Amino acid sequence: MPEQEPKIALIGNPNSGKTSIFNQLTGLQQKVGNFPGVTVDKKTGTLELPGGIRAELIDLPGAYSFYPTSKDEKLVVQSLVQPGNDNYPDAIVYIADVTKLEKHLLLFSQLKDLGIPVLLALNMADVAEQEGLQYDLDKLSQKLGAPTLLLSGRSGEGMTQLKTMLAALLAQPASGPVDSTQYRLSPEEAKLIPQLQDKFPGYTPYQLVLLAHHVKWLPFLSPLQKEQIEEAISNSGFQDLQLQVYETMQRYDQFTPIVQQARDKDGDQSASFTDRLDDLLTNRFFGPVVFLA
């Protein structure tokens, strides 16, 4: 008998186009259920990939980051913090609105620290084209560390390519456990992690950090586990809010220049001229001179 179908989760900020892409990919093969214990819709569908691979596609609620402010966002966090739970995906398609890329990459950056294979799908290709917005996809893919493609949930452009890339992603051997993070750990996090590692085998360092941030509400933790996490928190001086800010700022600092450098300025010549003029005008010494000229 075939093994269980691989689970693929669609994840992204609200309004990035997840549901549109979900519909494009699954057509009529959809089921709507509930996440256990809460009244949040869980949409699943069957995805047929090249090579006769069938996969289960899950349309998760939208989320901005792993620091949830709503029931929907909490669901995303609890599905992804605990390896092996019912909603834990084998691969992730991260949907980002290409016209708002800098804003949409925070959650992507956090996802990368889970060690789940992830594909970066830049949605709203039609809008980007109208606006003359272009990215160097190879550069983005290489610097952000994920296969990247452009698509449109509205026109359906890119869906075949997405399926081909997904099949390739699933065929890759698992890269092994992730033992580092996309950001520099604070001393407090560095102290916390080793205290939890043997109690939570299979968790990545970032998942352990998330346990500490969300110990108060994560529903799958036993009383004993909560105690162990609380103890590690007080032993390491872990500060929830302060470390959220520290982590978030570092992630923005990491991906913002990557996005800017991969964005092709419209019309090479004129853009680079304007750029240079900009540089000159804002230059402390030459600016005033050029202005006078």
Ligand X SMILES: Nc1nc2c(ncn2[C@@H]2O[C@H](COP(=O)(O)OP(=O)(O)O)[C@@H](O)[C@H]2O)c(=O)[nH]1
Name the site residues for ligand X (rule: CB under 6 A): 12, 14-20, 62, 123-124, 126-127, 152-154
Q: Which does 124 bind (CB under 5 to 8 A by kind): ligand X, Mg ion, none?
A: ligand X
Location of structure tokens 């980051």: 65
Minimum gap (Å) between residue 55 Cβ and ligand X:
19
Q: Which residue lies nearer to ligand X by CB, 161 or 235?
A: 161
Q: Which residue lies nearer to ligand X by CB, 151 or 185?
A: 151
State the Cα–Cα distance between residues 78 and 114, nearest whole angstrom.
13
**Angle, CA 64 vertex, CA 70 and CA 7 arms, to 5°:** 90
Minimum gap (Å) between residue 61 Cβ and Mg ion:
7
Residues found near Mg ion in the complex (CB under 5 A): 18-19
Location of structure tokens 């309004």: 15
Q: Which residue lies nearer to ligand X by CB, 23 or 197?
A: 23
The tally of CA atoms less than 13 A away on the side-chain side of residue 219 is: 13
Q: Which residue lies nearer to Mg ion by CB, 122 or 243?
A: 122
Q: Which residue lies nearer to ligand X by CB, 63 or 196?
A: 63
Minimum gap (Å) between residue 98 Cβ and Mg ion:
17
Minimum gap (Å) between residue 19 Cβ and Mg ion:
3
Q: Which does 115 bind (CB under 5 to 8 A by kind): Mg ion, ligand X, none?
A: none
Minimum gap (Å) between residue 21 Cβ and ligand X:
7
Q: What letter represents residue 260's amino acid?
A: Q
> In the complex, which residue's CB is closest to ligand X?
153
Q: Which does 251 bind (CB under 5 to 8 A by kind): Mg ion, ligand X, none?
A: none
